[in-house]
Amino acid sequence: MDSSFLTTTLLPLSLFIILLGMGLGLTIKDFQQILVEPKAVILGLLAQLVMVPVVGFVLAFVFPLSPELAVGVVLLSACPGGATSNLLTYLAKGNVALSVTLTAFSSLVTVFSIPLVVNLALGFFLEESADLRLPFIKTVMRLSTIVILPMIIGMVARRITPKLATTLEKSVKWFSIAFITLLVVLLIAQEWSTLQRYTLSLSGVTIALSVVTMALGYALSSVGQLDRPSTRSITIEVGIQSTSLAWTIASLPTLLNRPTMAVPALVYGLLMFGTSAGFIWLVRRQPLVAKA
């Protein structure tokens, strides 16, 4: 398969389908969740939008990575959880409504924060490559088209035809899972030689990113004295990053157009399910309500 078709068409299309499915399941009430659980939402967004990119910078600096791979790690850390975090929260018996709210809010905010974070990383790790800087306004507009537009379309469709939207949401959800699985297989096949070269050197930093951010989310929730379902939601939401969005930003010719920067996301996408499965296995052994 032509690599340009994969990066310019299939990657954005996969994101569109995933976020359309998310929009089909969203209503205005989901955004009002911040009024119901303000502390949980604020803690989750603080961790996801501020603390996780800081962790990404630290890990990219500490681990012996090439400048482009280091930027790729920071880019990955700046991406929101996406629909995958909602599914994993459900499997962990977490607060799904909180997870959806955090995903929706973070998806909206990261449209603006990603170009800022990535430009900081480009300036720090690739000082001589000022030409690689993401133009803020153009990047926000492109990310809005990729991220916000399908969510709005889905929400409008749910508003107009709620029954049809509910039916479509289930179909789109499973179709998106199948589609992204196929996409991962295609990406692995296309980047097999690159993966063989970098997987060993990137496995440490990507596992560390997943484990450290999940621990951060869990610790912050515990300090905030949230209930166990909300703690599980924030742990997963903070500890899971959207690999599809990171691949798209790194690979798309109209954005970074540096496929090497997408490699950390690909390796992370293969390994994060192991850390997530471990967390889910641990928490499912606990009761949802702490004993008095």
- Summarize the confidence of residues 147-176 as an average pLDDT: 80
Band (pLDDT 50/70/90 cuts) for residue 130 is: very low
Q: Which residue has the tokens 């297989």?
A: 185
For 3-47, write each residue's pLDDT tens digit: 556 656 666 777 777 777 777 877 777 667 667 778 888 888 888
Query: Do 57 and 246 form a contact (C-beta atoms < 8 A)?
Result: no
Distance of CA 58 to the CA centre of its chain: 19
Query: Do 40 and 223 form a contact (C-beta atoms < 8 A)?
Result: no
Question: Strand, coil or helix: what is 8?
Answer: helix
pLDDT at 63: 93
What end-to-end distance do the CA atoms of the chain give, in Å? 58
pLDDT at 77: 92
* 270: Cβ contacts below 8 Å, ≥ 6 apart: 184, 188
Domain positions in the chain = 3-283
Residue 35, φ and ψ in degrees, nearest 5: -80, -25
Band (pLDDT 50/70/90 cuts) for residue 292 is: very low
* 166: Cβ contacts below 8 Å, ≥ 6 apart: 24, 158
Q: What is the dihedral of CA 202, 204, 205, 210, to 10 degrees?
A: 120
Query: Do 154 and 171 form a contact (C-beta atoms < 8 A)?
Result: no
For 243-289, write each residue's pLDDT tens digit: 878 888 887 777 777 878 888 888 888 788 788 888 888 877 766 55
Q: Which residue has the tokens 């996801």?
A: 48
Query: Do 113 and 46 form a contact (C-beta atoms < 8 A)?
Result: no
- Summarize the confidence of residues 80-103 as an average pLDDT: 78
Question: Model's pTM, two decimal places?
Answer: 0.80
For 3-283, the fitting CATH number among 3.40.30.10, 3.90.25.10, 3.40.50.2000, 1.20.1530.20 is: 1.20.1530.20
47 DSSP 8-state letter:
I
